[in-house]
Amino acid sequence: MDMQDSQIDAFHHVQTAHCENGVTTALLRYHGLDFMTEPLAFGMGSGLFYIQIPFLTVNNGPAISFRTMPGAIFKRTCKSLGVEVTRKKFSSQQAAQDFLDRKIAEGVPVGCQVGVFHLPYFPKEYRFHFNAHNLIVYGREDGKYLISDPVMEDVTTISVEDLSRVRFAQGPLAPKGHIYFPEKIGSISHDLIRKGIARGINRNVRDMLRIPGNFAGVDGIRHTSNHIRKWRDKLGLKKAGLYLGQIVRMQEEIGTGGGGFRFLYGAFLEEAAAYLQNDSVSVIGEDFTKAGDMWRASAIKMAGIYKGRLTEQKDFEEVADMLVEIRSVEKDAFQKLSKLNLRG
């Protein structure tokens, strides 16, 4: 090893369904919070969401997200537990690299937001213009950075040039060298965890049921459903199919997405029930598992249209109807959570 090489020995890779949950879980566990799991990070961070972002297209299709905005899960989960964090963005690639190297030399693993299009270790079919992927840099060896990417089975490496390129990817949600890590952690009691869970649930109820406008929360699902009914006539069959293909891609983004996030939220409520000593929380979790199954079924139907197997207006109507049903299940589940009056 030369002077620039360093590896953080106590760091352990954690494979998870979704990247930001994984980074949050692994970094907090590294700092001694052994109770942290992916569902807990996702739920305390109020990660479940739905939005069709108006006036924005991604890969020439509608910009739809099934989760909260990038960075929020880490920020909120840490805040609930009283963990102080450092987050930085940079205008200069050199300054971003210098700061990263300094943290690694100090023995601090760090989270980085990156674009996936130029990630060399990703399979080609997963590389598209999506700039809200998260990974951990935990060392530098033989001129390469050591990477723990939570959606990968094992750790990997990346060249200095490639890491700089993905940290400064261009386009929507450009990461601008975004780096983040826990800075200071106090003692964490069972009561603090319980309050963090209750706060996370209450915020998610608010985000899904009471957010203003018609393009976000449960009403956002209906908003997209109304669009889908018009796409075949308005856009033509080919472009309408591409739009649905885009929803499937956003939904199943790198191993999870719409369905996956709902399964994860169901798992969170199961864990939350034990902390809150409230079995009804776990029962409501089953509604989210059902919603996850419904999202997956809708994705299969959308993929059939995208691939040209289904071409009739009735097929678009069927997809739209499926989304209306999903909205109903999610709205009902969040209303049940709302009635529990959990104290955060």
Q: What digits encode the pLDDT tens for the residues 71-114? A: 899 999 999 999 999 999 999 999 999 999 999 999 999 999 99
Confidence band, pLDDT 50/70/90 cuts, at residue 255: very low
Q: Which tokens go with 278?
A: 């409230």
Element spanning 58, H or E = strand 48-58
pLDDT for 128 = 76
Domains and CATH numbers, the chain: 6-36+84-184 (3.90.70), 190-339 (no CATH)
**Would residue 170 be called left, alpha or beta, if left means φ above 0 and alpha means ψ between -120 and 50 degrees?**
beta
Q: Identify the pLDDT of residue 258.
A: 66
**Would the pLDDT of 343 be above 90?**
no
Question: What pLDDT, in 10s, does the model give residues 266-279?
Answer: 999 999 999 999 99
Contact 13, 151 (CB under 8 A): no
Query: Nearest to residue 52, comparing CAs of 63, 61, 60, 44?
Result: 63
Q: Tell me the average pLDDT across 7-27.
A: 89
Is residue 3 over pLDDT 60? no
Span 150-181, pLDDT tens digits: 999 999 999 999 999 999 999 888 999 999 99
pLDDT in tens, 288-297: 999 999 999 9
pLDDT in tens, 217-254: 999 999 999 999 999 999 999 999 999 998 988 776 54
Cβ atoms of 316 and 254 closer than 8 Å: no
Tell me the residue ranges of DSSP E strands in 32-167: 48-58, 61-67, 84-88, 110-114, 133-141, 144-148, 156-159
Q: Average pLDDT of 307-325?
A: 96
pLDDT of residue 1: 38
Per-residue confidence (pLDDT) for residue 257, from 0 to 100: 57
pTM (two decimals): 0.92
Q: What SS3 class is residue 238? A: helix
In tens, the pLDDT along 116-130 reads: 999 999 888 777 778
